[in-house]
Amino acid sequence: METERSQKEMLHVGRPNLGDVDVFKQLVDQIFENRWFTNSGELVREFETRLCEYLGVRNCIPVCNGTVGLQIAAHALGLTGEVILPAFTFVATAHALQWEGIKPVFCDINVDNHDIDPSKIDSLITDRTSAIMGVHIWGRPCNTDAIQEIADRRDLIVMYDAAHAFGCKQQGQMIGNFGRCEVFSFHATKFFNTFEGGAIATNDDELAAKIRLMKNFGFARMDEVIHLGTNGKMPEICAAMGLACFEKLDEVVSTNRRNFEEYRQGLDGIPGIRLISFDEIEMANWQYVVIEVDQGRTGVSRYDLMQHLHKNSVRARRYFYPGCHRMEPYCSLYPDQTSVLPRTDELCDRVLELPTGSAISIADVNYVCEVIRQHVPGTSS
């Protein structure tokens, strides 16, 4: 088996999908010809239209990144006090709230889909709770019906961090249409990227108008500021990348799907390794190949397996270890929240993300599976 790979040949989680490079280059020429680089240029406007059409949503406002998108959305929705969210997420979800002066209240997750467990939400609601923020982890949608039912009953707002879920559906409906709004990340590592970027999708026109103001310093028109605002604008170059990515979107899904099937076969029969799956009927982006390592059955810890993969040039990642509740500032600010999330802790100790996306070939997938097979005792060949 191959063991040495050059830095360039390293198999990374999160290698960007490229989009149509020729389309991108033409659009870059257009940006230079126009001499219009940012502030709601023609490419951002075109990108916004494409996003709305694709998602079937009334508004989808491009922003500079997903984190600022979450902050703007939380602010525009008037969230205050406490918001309930999972700790099994990228730390940006919690930071966006804390940055807005809101206390993140961490809810345990459902081990079946790794998303917030609706049955644990009610007991966390206090008179300071203003909202529930679900996160569609790995692009597997939250139980939106159950979350909405609780919110309606307890008079709370629902919003979603949809950073992973561009191109995914829930009950036949595109993600982007749930809750009061949903926030996508178009970071380089995401299924669909604009280098850095994001978008806030909502069917609420009034909310959209507020978000448009807030992402542009509160300007209603030249010289007229009517609202508190920030700089959340997406530049033209990022919109160009988004438009180029639309051209290759279906291709990326089929490559991801092909890689996933190859992993499914390659990992089959390895004791204690469970590949998390996606709903075969719903539309998914298949962007994440995630395994759970059950040390009792593999005989090796998740950490050992990760180190072994790293030594063999596979940069697997243990997202979202150790969980937001065990990161600063949350473990210092809210120490009572560190020991009450057993399912989250269990998962944080088990999960390993493996490389996929358009940079990863079938041969690469077979290589990764072989590296794993070699390290887990008792694997049938």
Residues contributing to the site for ligand T4K (CB under 6 A): 12-16, 65-67, 89-90, 92-93, 135, 161, 163-164, 185, 187-189, 198, 315, 319
Nearer to ligand T4K among residue 40 and residue 189 (C-beta): 189
Rounded least distance, CB 313 to ligand T4K, Å? 12
| Residue among 224, 216, 214, 188 at smallest CA distance from 100 | 214
Nearer to ligand T4K among residue 12 and residue 295 (C-beta): 12
Q: Is the backbone of residue 101 left (phi > 0), alpha (psi -120 to 50) or beta? A: left
Nearer to ligand T4K among residue 30 and residue 189 (C-beta): 189
Nearer to ligand T4K among residue 65 and residue 285 (C-beta): 65
- Using Cβ positions, the residue closest to ligand T4K within the complex turns out to be 14
Q: In whole angstroms, give the CA distance from residue 285 to residue 69.
A: 21
**CB neighbour list of residue 72: distance below 8 Å, 6 or more residues apart:** 63, 200, 211, 214, 215, 230, 232
The total number of residues written for the chain in this structure: 381
Rounded least distance, CB 185 to ligand T4K, Å? 3
Rounded least distance, CB 135 to ligand T4K, Å? 5
- DSSP characters for 248-278? HHHHHHHHHHHHHHHHHHHHTT-TTEEE---
Nearer to ligand T4K among residue 66 and residue 272 (C-beta): 66
Nearer to ligand T4K among residue 272 and residue 354 (C-beta): 354
Q: 82 near 129, Cβ under 8 Å?
A: yes
* Residues paired with residue 160 on neighbouring β-strands, in sequence order: 134, 182
Rounded least distance, CB 375 to ligand T4K, Å? 20
Q: Whose structure tokens read 């730390």?
A: 91
Rounded least distance, CB 226 to ligand T4K, Å? 27
Rounded least distance, CB 89 to ligand T4K, Å? 5
